[in-house]
Amino acid sequence: MKYLELVIFAVFAAVVLYQLYAVLGRRIGRQPEDEAPKPGAAPIDADPVIAAEPAVFDGPAPTGLNAVRAKDPTFDVGHFLNGARQAYEMIVIAFAAGDRATLQNLLSPAVAESFETAIDAREAEGRTETVEFLHPPRADLEQIEVKNDVAHVIVRFLGEFRSRTKGPEGEGVDDRRTAELWTFERNLNSRDPNWTLVHVDAAEA
């Protein structure tokens, strides 16, 4: 009986070994020797060399902030808004005080003329005014546009200030809250880094 079991086991082992040989000894897929290049032929994994062509930009011209930075790479929105906020306070205070010299350096001729007319009318009525900001004004970038190398930046200002006036009828104190759109202009080809106020519009708060 034991002899029969040994024979069956030997047959079973032979079958298993044959199957292993059939699997392990078989060529499956592409072999390394199959990849050997033929004499005079380029390697199969060689990529063709393509000469790089220079990039040609044929899209639309940059607009808005990109257009400003294309002419003035140093332009920074945060720095500009800080400067615009300071200019806003200076102009409002100078206008109330009738400080024409300060206004002359910050305004375009057209805006300066309109401010001058208002100051003349107030002085003709015998009125004086001083302004004090209750809180730092808020400045938000509204729009940027560049035409013929001249940049126009519109800033929305929200301001709260106290106005003290004196006139023939006496003195008065008035707390005001204003919302305006101010347009600043600068020639980007100019060495002068300063911006000029060229337009003022009322805005919704």
CATH number where 180 lies: 3.10.450.240
- How many distinct structural domains can be found in the chain? 1
Query: Which of 134, 147, 115, 121 has the alpha carbon at shortest distance from 176?
Result: 134
In a domain, 110, yes or no: yes
Give the pLDDT score at 12. 41
DSSP per residue, 129-188:
EEEEESSPPEEEEEEEEEETTEEEEEEEEEEEEEEEEEETTEEEEEEEEEEEEEEEEEET
In a domain, 189, yes or no: yes
Percentage of the residues of the chain whose pLDDT score is greater than 90: 67
CB neighbour list of residue 42: distance below 8 Å, 6 or more residues apart: none
29 three-state secondary structure: coil
Place of tokens 């100078």: 94
Q: Is the pTM of this model over 0.85?
A: no
Amino acid making up residue 178: T
Average pLDDT over residues 3-18: 40
pLDDT digits (tens, 9 = 90+) for 164-197: 999 998 999 999 999 999 999 999 999 999 999 9
In a domain, 159, yes or no: yes
Average pLDDT over residues 89-96: 97
Residue 200 corresponds to which tokens in the numbers above? 């003022």
196 three-state secondary structure: strand
Asked whether 160 and 134 are in contact (CB, 8 A), the reply is yes
117 three-state secondary structure: helix
CA distance 184 to 144: 10
In a domain, 30, yes or no: no
What crossing angle do the helices spanning 77-97 and 109-124 adopt, rounded to 10°? 30
In a domain, 92, yes or no: yes
Query: Which of 124, 119, 122 has the alpha carbon at shortest distance from 103?
Result: 119
Give the pLDDT score at 20. 33
In a domain, 147, yes or no: yes
CA distance 49 to 150: 46
pLDDT above 90 for 4:
no
Average pLDDT over residues 87-99: 97
For residue 200, the surrounding DSSP H or E stretch is strand 196-202
pLDDT digits (tens, 9 = 90+) for 57-86: 344 567 899 999 999 999 999 999 999 999
What's the residue count for the chain? 205
Give the pLDDT score at 204. 83
Range of the domain at 121: 64-202
